[in-house]
Amino acid sequence: MPPNLTKPDSGFTSKQSPLCTFVSLIFLLIIGFYTLHYPPGNPKKVLLFQQIFLSSASNSTIASYLRSLTSHPHLAGTKPSLETIHYVKTHFQNLGLETHTVPFQTLLSYPVHASVLMHFGNGTVLNLPLNEMGIPSYPSSGLIQPYHAFSPSGTVHGKVVFANHGREDDYRTLGLMGVNVNGCIVVIRKGGGLSRGAVVKIAEKKGALGVLMYAEGDVSKGSFGSGVERGTVMEGVGDPLTPGWGADEDGERLKLEDKKVLQRFPGIPSLPLPFESAQLILDSLGGPLAPQEWRDSGRSNLSHVGSGLVMVNFTYQGEKKLATIYNVVAVIRGLEEPDCYVLMGNHRDAWTYGAVDPNSGTATLLDIARRYALLMRKGWNPRRTIIFCSWDAEEFGMIGSTEWVEQNLVNLGAKAVAYLNVDCAVQGPGFFAGATPQLDNLILKVTKKVQDQDSEVVATIYEKWKTMNGNNIQRLSGVDSDFAPFLQHAGVPSVDIYYGRDFPVYHTAFDSFNWMINNADPFFWRHVAVAGVWGLLGLHLADDPVLPFDYLSYAKQLQEYKDAYSRVLDGNISLTPLAASIQEFTSAAKQANEETKKLMEQEFTNDLLALKIRALNDGLMLAERGFLDTDGIKGREWFKHLIYGPRSNYESGLEFFPGISDAMAESKNMSQKDGHAAIKHEIWRVARAIQRAAAALKGELV
């Protein structure tokens, strides 16, 4: 067991061996020596601070934070959430950080009543359980009943059809079997890559009266029963009453009945079900036999797709109301470039206890702040400003972070270096990372410095990650977490990291501290690993004289994207504008790399060198903004990024250049001439965006 990594005990007190105490004293002596002999910003001193950061890890400390954060449910906008806000704010203040809360008044959604009744042919009625089973203290625990936020209220009565994952392809399969969902209630199982909102939207388009969803994940280990996955079905991100501007208490708001507001919500009710209740409905279905692949792909004892003699009466009554949410922001001012911001964020609100989602990330963020404060006491001051962000109401649709980004859009556009996001820090085994491509090399560099505690032999995260999936870094096209407003609206380079994926208690009442210590991370070593990577990324971005961005990685990725479209597009549609712009961007990236190397080889600092470094950094920082387009993605204009963003064409495997992907899907309903024109226009838009990014990277006017 590495130094300072102790098995959490019942009190979660930090333990430190005599050897660790001795090592800490040695570090104090060394830092004193370096403070006297090396000027601020010296690479050797910066490296020493990074080593101190890694050596000050404490799994028991992170465990104590998580235990406090998950002592009760804390859904955004409710009274219990205020305690969690106070806990995070007090932690930052006790570290001596400049801390404040940022309130917003936003539209949120809560359940009032729900029921699902099965009506049998013999006149009997079965009232299905809707809450998690195996939690005897459900009402007194503070848990809110499972629901879909922003689902419309309503009562529907009809036959039931099972529509697998609710994809367009699944409905086509039903159609080929002679099954029509029009006027029926559809049952959907989680999976297929669609958001809840997209599933309900498609079902509504097919004529369904309502949607019942369930998850098949096995959460019955030990004392756990069947979980019910809560979630939002609202389209887009941010407060629906203040689209594009911050939701200040006395600011402008649209009316709830405004067309722009209503189009964010589905038109039919939906509700999550426990697996056991969903199984009772599926057992009652008649009609055609389910396709073999539907039966083989899940735990359900599925035979038929519907409909049978059983009718279902489904009622949901919800309440949409204004509620005050609070972001907590803490600042470490930069010494040399205080006007450049490195942002590190995690959301705090949870559907239930939120041990994995999101407070494994919150506990990790608090520990990074603790360790940064320790570095400050030892003489460290970052070159650039570091901002810790604890977001509220993410679960309702990234509301807290979106409102803050909208409110600070100009300053972020001019000064934000990068946004480093961690949502669910630890879900299970295996390291995963997503990022904009210019940060790839930095991520790889940092993961070579942090030990992976899951390895049977001593190994870094990089080494273990390479054997798992070849150090594959995902891209941030989805609207999955709080990086979305930063990247897809403000054009800020972004990172999202985590351990494990697809954990079985996602958004359920079993996402608790006990589940974490019994399943995901008993010794909190994975938390320590995430903190190591996240914290070192922050230190590099805050301290490196030249920003550690490599746009050649971006250029290579853009070329791969262009090649992917060339394989699927009509041969009459030219990609020449795209190819030319990528070539121009590649040239700018090479020039930036050469300038970086030249400046870093200079041994002495002077005012002229400082100005040259700042000019280079401005280009490196602002290049991502070039990919933004003021008109945004057609039909989702709030999303401005033309390389990474959500697409309406759910069936496309092309998760980049969303405007081109959507135009290809829409062209199928047009004449060939008009369809080709629409696609060509989107190609030109992307090409111009890449040219803007190249110009920003060069720092020159065209």
Domains of the chain, by residue range, sit at 46-106+322-543, 108-318, 551-698
Paired tokens of 87: 């806990």
- The CA dihedral of 421, 427, 431, 432, to the nearest 10 degrees, is -50
Q: Which residue has the higher pLDDT, 109 or 307?
A: 109
pLDDT exceeds 90 at position 666: yes
Radius of gyration over every alpha carbon of the chain, rounded to an integer in angstroms: 26
pLDDT exceeds 70 at position 13: no
Q: Lowest mean pLDDT: which of 236-245, 427-436, 606-615, 650-659? A: 650-659
Average confidence score pLDDT of the chain: 91
Q: Which pLDDT does position 300 carry in this prediction?
A: 67
Q: Which pLDDT does position 21 carry in this prediction?
A: 40
pLDDT exceeds 60 at position 476: yes
Instruction: Give the Cα separation of 694 and 436 in Å (integer).
Output: 16
CA angle 509/513/514 to nearest 5° reads 85
Q: What average pLDDT does the segment 613-628 reach? A: 97
pLDDT exceeds 70 at position 30: no
Paired tokens of 503: 């954990």
Instruction: Give the Cα separation of 535 and 495 in Å (integer).
Output: 12
CATH number (3.60.20.10, 3.40.50.1970, 3.40.630.10, 3.40.50.10860) of 46-106+322-543 reads: 3.40.630.10
Question: Counting beta carbons within 10 angstroms of the beta carbon of residue 122, is it exposed (0 to 12), middle (13 to 18) or buried (19 or more)?
Answer: exposed
Q: Which pLDDT does position 139 carry in this prediction?
A: 66
Query: pLDDT tens for residues 367-391?
Result: 999 999 999 999 999 999 999 999 9
Cross-strand bridge partners of residue 154: 316
CA angle 24/381/606 to nearest 5° reads 125
Tell me whether strands 98-119 and 125-127 are parallel, antiparallel or unpaired: antiparallel
Report whether CATH 3.50.30.30 matches the domain 108-318.
Answer: yes
Q: Which residue has the higher pLDDT, 652 or 99?
A: 99
CB 320 within 8 A of CB 149: no
CA angle 293/297/299 to nearest 5° reads 130
Q: Which pLDDT does position 702 carry in this prediction?
A: 79
pLDDT exceeds 90 at position 457: no
Cross-strand bridge partners of residue 155: 315
CB 280 within 8 A of CB 214: no
46-106+322-543 and 108-318: identical CATH topology: no
pLDDT band at 235 (very low <50, low <70, confident <90, very high): very high
Rounded (10°) angle between helices 59-69 and 359-377: 130
Q: What average pLDDT does the segment 397-426 reach? A: 98
CA angle 101/104/107 to nearest 5° reads 145
CB 135 within 8 A of CB 509: yes
Q: Which pLDDT does position 138 carry in this prediction?
A: 66
CB 344 within 8 A of CB 385: no
Catalytic residue among 235, 337, 394, 624: 394
Question: Counting beta carbons within 10 angstroms of the beta carbon of residue 555, is it exposed (0 to 12), middle (13 to 18) or buried (19 or more)?
Answer: buried
pLDDT band at 306 (very low <50, low <70, confident <90, very high): confident
CB 237 within 8 A of CB 297: no
State the pTM of this model.
Answer: 0.93
Q: Lowest mean pLDDT: which of 54-63, 132-141, 167-176, 489-498? A: 132-141
Instruction: Give the Cα separation of 506 and 395 in Å (integer).
Output: 12
Q: Lowest mean pLDDT: which of 22-31, 307-316, 514-523? A: 22-31
CATH superfamily of 551-698: Transferrin receptor-like, dimerisation domain (1.20.930.40)
Q: How far is CA 571 from CA 536, 565, 685, in A?
A: 47, 11, 19
Q: What average pLDDT does the segment 123-152 reach? A: 88
Please identify which residue in the block is written with the tokens 């219990």.
80
- The CA dihedral of 410, 413, 417, 422, to the nearest 10 degrees, is 80
Which alpha helices (H) appear in 544-657, and where do they start and end?
A: 551-568, 576-600, 607-622
Rounded (10°) angle between helices 461-469 and 525-543: 110
Instruction: Give the Cα separation of 50 and 27 in Å (integer).
Output: 12
CB 52 within 8 A of CB 375: yes
- Sorted by sequence, the CB contacts under 8 Å of residue 593 that are 6+ apart come out as 550, 551, 552
Q: Which pLDDT does position 222 carry in this prediction?
A: 38
Instruction: Give the Cα separation of 2 and 16 in Å (integer).
Output: 11
Q: Which of 405, 75, 354 is nearest to 247 (CA)?
A: 405
Query: pLDDT tens for residues 530-565?
Result: 999 999 999 999 999 999 999 999 999 999 999 999
Q: Which residue has the higher pLDDT, 21 or 536?
A: 536
Instruction: Give the Cα separation of 487 and 625 in Å (integer).
Output: 9
Instruction: Give the Cα separation of 646 and 655 in Å (integer).
Output: 8
pLDDT exceeds 50 at position 431: yes
Q: Which pLDDT does position 136 carry in this prediction?
A: 66
Would you list the DSSP string of 489-556?
Answer: IT---EEEEEE----TTTTSTT-SHHHIIIII-TTSHHHHHHHHHHHHHHHHHHH-SS----HHHHHH
What's the full length of the chain, in residues? 702
Q: Which pLDDT does position 647 carry in this prediction?
A: 86
Instruction: Give the Cα separation of 396 and 554 in Å (integer).
Output: 32
CB 483 within 8 A of CB 433: no
Q: Which pLDDT does position 340 carry in this prediction?
A: 98
- Is 83 an annotated catalytic residue? no
Paired tokens of 320: 């949409």
Query: pLDDT tens for residues 172-221?
Result: 999 999 999 999 999 999 988 899 999 999 999 999 999 999 998 654 44
pLDDT exceeds 50 at position 614: yes
Paired tokens of 258: 């405004």
Q: Which pLDDT does position 31 carry in this prediction?
A: 41
pLDDT exceeds 60 at position 95: yes
User: In what helix (H) or strand (E) does residue 94 lie, and over which residues does it extend?
Assistant: helix 79-94
